[in-house]
Structure 1
């Protein structure tokens, strides 16, 4: 068990990867320590060169670590010999950015390939392949070749193939980066469905914060080979601490553009108070503005706002101008502060 009561499925301690050359050494992963609970969709995000793809390849030893320890499902991966590692990898599925399909094989034969390697009988293979084809939504495409499939369909084949041996962990290395936004969303929905149906632990590597926002429970932010920030996705979105994390949050929330827009709007109002309301979780669905307008003798103008969803709940920001008697405005602010879970910040007081 970990400190929060979850069951640990992956424990990483002091993980290092140094690429050596004649001219210099490059540290891709630097003393990385991380615990991941069973059944989580855990996101690892970083810009290009942060070390995230090297990190995920270290987990199943597609890259050999320079140092450190990796334990997956109580088995120390870093201590296994070649034969033991081949067996252990059957419980660690992996999907890739560019699909890595066998172009001379059909959909059905691509999915069956890991089962052939594992020595599964033909009858069992065919039964398992059909189950997976249904699971990933490729019924009717069994005999198609990769060249006849769309990008999303190719990735569905990759996902089905990665699940062939009933793994406990699924590693996703930039699995949606080569796809358009609509296809990306369908693949992310599929991963959530698989996570729920199979209880699979998913580790998702990406440079796109909207991918983290949409499906992850926990997130670790990587920079220069290290984890610089980590936590519940909603908490990280609400209170990003490091500059790199703030940049990622801005990708989704458009924070800079939003603030710039409000700065322009401020000049058009010379009375009342400009207020920023911060909604978290269930409060995003409350008709708060309507309640306040009915309860207090003030006018409320909505200037700008945005609400977004995460796996842990919704959050959002709303800028409003409250106009009227100062005493009534203050009563309204006190009501929101003390009677709701909405956070209030007075951005400008023109009274």
Structure 2
């Protein structure tokens, strides 16, 4: 388990004092995939450096599995860091070493014998799907393959926590999804706690159980990913959620839909979890005298369930439309009337 208590980091530039992390309190249970999202300058990179002991906090503490890493130094800190590994945006591989040699490097530093290093690297090469590429050099690998090497190297010392610093930002969308699927698989197989920082809500949506939204060094919103998608409170969170749910309710989109569908009423529906898999619209059409036309929508899948949005054109009498909306509300489907079409 990771526990942050009043964690603060202030940088003194000589001319001014910059508070990069401002009294952050967080608890990450063992085995969770926890996301930290924020735009550039939010403080997330400093926070992750505090987690692995590369920065000392100005105030507060970092505890990992009961050990306060902010209170130790020297050999004890180096030993503690072996249980907190990290993968990076730009891979940070040794270009003069092969895939196998890159993976074995932390074991070599730790004094592990050659035979044991070779056995461990072979296991990790299989785990990350790099069989047949053991003798390749980084320059001969694709971006996704390089990140797989980075992940295997990070796992070499059998860590308890894996930190991911914008680990997919340099990859194309398809490769990003493959790396995220690999991280989910590793989390399930090894029970590894994963903390990742990103500015991409797609990454949070796809693999994280919970998310913290950072702005100005503070955690401004925190919760299960599915709940944050359903009820974003802060404006910054709404902007991030819009990255993957699209901007169905933007003024321009609504105006365009009204022009395209000039009759009836436009209604936005939000489905969460099991609702997204249920034939609720089929029941509505069967039971109420309304004509239903789906004009826009999408479903996003999270680790805790699905989140879907639909925009419907409803045609019928005001009374029947009112009954239909009441039916949806009774089935815990959020509705928002977007005005007459």
TM-score range, shorter chain: over 0.9
Unaligned 5+ segments in structure 1 are 1-8
Contact 2:5/2:60 (<8 A) preserved:
yes
Structure 2, unaligned stretches of length 5 or more?
none
CA RMSD of aligned residues (A): 1.6
Q: Which residue number corresponds to residue 49 of structure 2?
A: 57
**Structure 2 residue aligned with 1:123:** 115
Change beyond 3 A, Cα 1:27–1:193: same
Aligned partner (choices 168, 178, 183) of residue 186 of structure 1: 178
Q: TM-score, normalised by structure 1?
A: 0.93
* 2:189 is the counterpart of 1:197: yes
Structure-to-structure mapping, 1:1-351, within 5 angstroms: 9-255=1-247, 260-267=252-259, 271-338=263-330, 340-348=331-339
CA deviation string 1:244-292 (max 9, x = no partner): 1111111111226755322332245565332222111111122222222
Question: Does the 8 A contact of 1:106 with 1:142 survive in 2?
Answer: yes
Q: Residues 294 and 141 of structure 1: is their aligned pair in 2 closer, same or farther, counting only changes over 3 Å?
A: same
Give the secondary structure class of the aligned counterpart of 1:100. coil
Cα distance in structure 2, aligned partners of 1:239 and 1:290: 26
**Alpha carbons of 1:256 and 1:288: their partners in 2 closer, same or farther (altered >3 Å)?**
closer
Q: Which runs of 4+ in 1 moved over 4 A?
A: 256-259, 267-271
Q: 1:261–1:97: structure 2 CA closer, same or farther, 3 Å change rule?
A: same
Deviation by residue 1:118-177 (Cα, 9 ceiling, x = unmatched)? 111222111111000000001100011111111111111110000001101000001011
Q: Which range moves more in the overlay, 115-124 or 186-195?
A: 115-124
CA distance in 1, matches of 2:207, 2:332: 25
TM-score (norm 2): 0.95
Query: Any idea what SS the aligned residue of 2:82 has?
Result: helix
On the 8 A contact 1:262/1:304 being kept in 2, the answer is no
Query: Aligned partners of 2:130, 2:2: CA distance in 1, in Å?
Result: 31
Q: Kindly tell me the number of residue pairs found equivalent between the two proteins.
A: 341
Helix, strand or coil for the counterpart of 1:120?
coil
Q: 2 CA distance for matches of 1:317 and 1:39?
A: 30
Retained in 2: the 8 A contact 1:11–1:36? Answer: yes
Q: 1:121 to 1:282 in 2, by over 3 A?
A: same
State the distance in 2 between where 1:269 and 1:205 align: 41
